[in-house]
Structure formats: C-alpha cells, structure tokens
Amino acid sequence: MKEINKKEIVKMLLNQNIDEQSEEELLDMLVDNPISVDVDKKEEENMTLGDKVADKLTKFAGSWKFIISFSLFLIGWIILNGVLLSKAIDPFPFILLNLVLSCVAAIQAPIIMMSQNRQAKKDTLRNQNDYKTDLKTELIIEELHDKIDEILARQKKMEKTIDELKNKLQ
C-alpha cells in the first residue's frame, strides 16, 4: 500500500492546490485554519419552511403525547359512533375512521422520511467533519512527535559534548 506523505494528506484535507508551499507552511496553515464546522447550525441556516414543519411534525408524531392523544381520539371515536349515537356518523365497522387513519398514515410517512433523510445528511456531514478534525489532530501530534525527537537528539548531542568537555578538564 502506498504511503501518503503529510503534504498529500494536507492537500486532501484542505481540498486546495498548494504545491508551492513547503511542508512546514502547510502544517502551520493547517494549525491556524479551523476545520471544525457546526453542522447543526449550518444546516439550520439552509432549512426551508417545509423542512422546519417536517421536523416539528416528526418530533411530535414520535412522542408519547401524540400516541396518547391519538389513542384517546380513537377510543372516543369508537365510543361516540359505536355506543352513544343512535344515528352514528361512522357506524361499525368504522369505515370513515379507517379512511382517516389511512390518510394520516399516507401523509405522515413521507414527511417523517423527509426529516429522516435530512438527519442522515447531517450525520454524514458530522462524520466528515469528525474525520477532518481527527486527521488534523493526528498530523499535529505527528509533527509534535517529530519535534520532540529532534529535541531529544539535540539533548543527547549536548550531553555527549558536555561529557567530552568534562573528560578533557579532568
């Protein structure tokens, strides 16, 4: 497998044509430029009215408040039309209620799917952002590791020089 050098990684990460700059300048540029993006805020700025309505409907339709209220509506409908009214609007087997439930499901399902698709896009953007941030962190840590190795090498060289000077003085 071909090993990718830092310059190529930074180019991929930044999606810019930066051939003329040195590796050190690229790393400085990487450190100075923010990569993290608030995906939720960015997505919120681009939301249409329909997107906002779909999200609110999805949030409500997936709540206990909706389940309980809709269950109470169904029970009320059945009691009203099955027991209390002599001339029921929708007598047993509640064909009108079935039609209403089918219409609600037919409208609700695509709206919920629209909201889920948008959430999936946000998750993808969030994952890409996390990858870029992790890659940036890895590059910075690698650069720091190289600098520490260089410092240690210089320190060993200085210790060797000091030991040589001590031996000459004795």
Domain boundaries, the chain: 34-169
Any idea which residue has 């910075």 for tokens?
A: 140
Per residue in 70-103, pLDDT (tens digit) is 999 999 999 999 888 778 889 888 999 999 999 9
105 pLDDT exceeds 70?
A: yes
20 pLDDT exceeds 60?
A: no
Say if CB 86 and CB 79 are below 8 A apart. Answer: no
Higher per-residue pLDDT: 159 or 144? 159
Nearest Cα residue to 70 out of 23, 105, 114: 105
5 phi and psi angles, rounded to 5 deg: -85, 170
Of the pLDDT bands very low, low, confident and very high (cuts 50, 70, 90), residue 5 is: low
Of the pLDDT bands very low, low, confident and very high (cuts 50, 70, 90), residue 114 is: very high
Query: Rounded CA gap, 167 and 170, in Å?
Result: 5
Query: Rounded CA gap, 122 and 128, in Å?
Result: 10
Angle, helices 6-14 vs 95-169, to 10°: value is 150
Say if CB 139 and CB 6 are below 8 A apart. Answer: yes
Angle, helices 95-169 vs 64-79, to 10°: value is 170
40 phi and psi angles, rounded to 5 deg: -65, -45
Of the pLDDT bands very low, low, confident and very high (cuts 50, 70, 90), residue 132 is: confident
What are the start-end ranges of the H helices in 38-94? 39-45, 49-61, 64-79
Q: What is the pLDDT of residue 152?
A: 97
Per residue in 23-68, pLDDT (tens digit) is 556 666 666 666 677 777 888 888 899 888 989 999 999 899 999 9
Nearest Cα residue to 39 out of 122, 115, 130: 122
Per residue in 135-145, pLDDT (tens digit) is 888 888 888 89
Q: What is the pLDDT of residue 1?
A: 44
Nearest Cα residue to 18 out of 31, 3, 33, 8: 8
